[in-house]
Structure 1
Amino acid sequence: MLYLEDLKIGDQFKSREYEMTLEEIKDFANKYDPQVFHTDEEKAKDHPIFQGIAASGWHTSAVTMRLWTECFPVAGGLIGSESSLRWPRPARVGDRIHVEVEIVAITPSKTKNDRAIVTYVTQARNQVGDVLLLSTTKIVVFKREFASGQG
């Protein structure tokens, strides 16, 4: 597990790959984002932007979250305080997504000396390097002493 003392600006983390399947894309979309370009292969072919079935951006975000938790194991969890994100390209059936994380800022709390806000940039990429998701996220990260109940 990673604590505040373990992190510095410029640190990078890379996840394993996760493959997007047609069944999973449709299942996610039917539950959370039921639009035809996510759920119907035939109708998606005629879509002016997607021209074929594409994963919901929220599905790509959920996969990114899963991969974050595996490659960036922050003690106490990834407690988000803010995030901005973009989906430059859709994830497609068969895409093998991995995430690349880089810490870009560490801002100590002004009122609590046991924590800081860590800002990191994430790129979720497919197997050929296309960026499918780009985000800047701020999380609360605790010092090691927090875990032992001191401070």
Structure 2
Amino acid sequence: MENYSKLRFRDLKVGDRFDLGTHALSLEEMLAFASKYDPQPFHLDDESARANPLFERTSASGWLSIMLLQKLIGDFWKATQVQGLAGAGVDRIEWAAPTYADEPLQCTMLLEMVRASASKPQLGLMTMCVTLTKEHQQLATLLRITGVFKND
């Protein structure tokens, strides 16, 4: 990943794309999360997953993939001079394909809207479309969120 340590809000523009790296979820973290927060049978064991026509084996909870995206977004902005202040909303969540243990997932963030607040120009608004893609660019998870940032 490139060095973005000097990146500021004023440097950002619509169309900027950032590679947030390749990540994989372990079976242990998938099972721990599903057991506690999303105990659907296809998130807990292979046999139940195969009984469902949508899954090949135990799949990660979509909510776990969203949490992974949120962590990667936060880690990225922490490595810059861009200061996040608050979330302003989730526009879209899409779980396009199942995610399986140890599967490499490429994370990319595209800026779809970047502007100063009309009523509070010291604040900036930014809409980010963040995706996890599997092998052959197959979309697994999409998260489109808007955040409030310090406009410097």
TM-score by length of 1: 0.85
State the alpha-carbon separation in 2 of the partners of residues 50 and 91 from structure 1: 9
State the alpha-carbon separation in 2 of the partners of residues 106 and 100 from structure 1: 17
Tell me if 1:9 matches 2:14: yes
Identity of aligned residues (%): 27
2:67 is paired with a residue whose SS is: helix
Give ranges in structure 1 of 5+ residues lacking alignment. 145-151
Give ranges in structure 2 of 5+ residues lacking alignment. none
In structure 2, which of residues 117, 122, 125 is the aligned counterpart of residue 117 of structure 1? 125
Task: Measure how far apart 1:98 and its partner are.
Answer: 2.6
Task: Measure how far apart 1:39 and its partner are.
Answer: 0.6
Partner of 1:106: 114
Number of matched residues? 144
In structure 1, which of residues 46, 61, 66 is the aligned counterpart of residue 51 of structure 2? 46
Task: Provide closer, same or farther for how the CA distance between residues 91 and 82 of structure 1 changes in structure 2, counting only shifts above 3 A.
Answer: same
Task: Measure how far apart 1:78 and its partner are.
Answer: 6.4
Deviations 1:101-144 (A, max 9, x none): 11111232121110121112112112442211112211112122
Matched residue type, 1:3 = R
Q: What is the root-mean-square deviation of aligned Cα atoms in Å?
A: 1.8
State the alpha-carbon separation in 1 of the partners of residues 41 and 133 from structure 2: 24
Task: Measure how far apart 1:48 and its partner are.
Answer: 2.0
TM-score by length of 2: 0.85
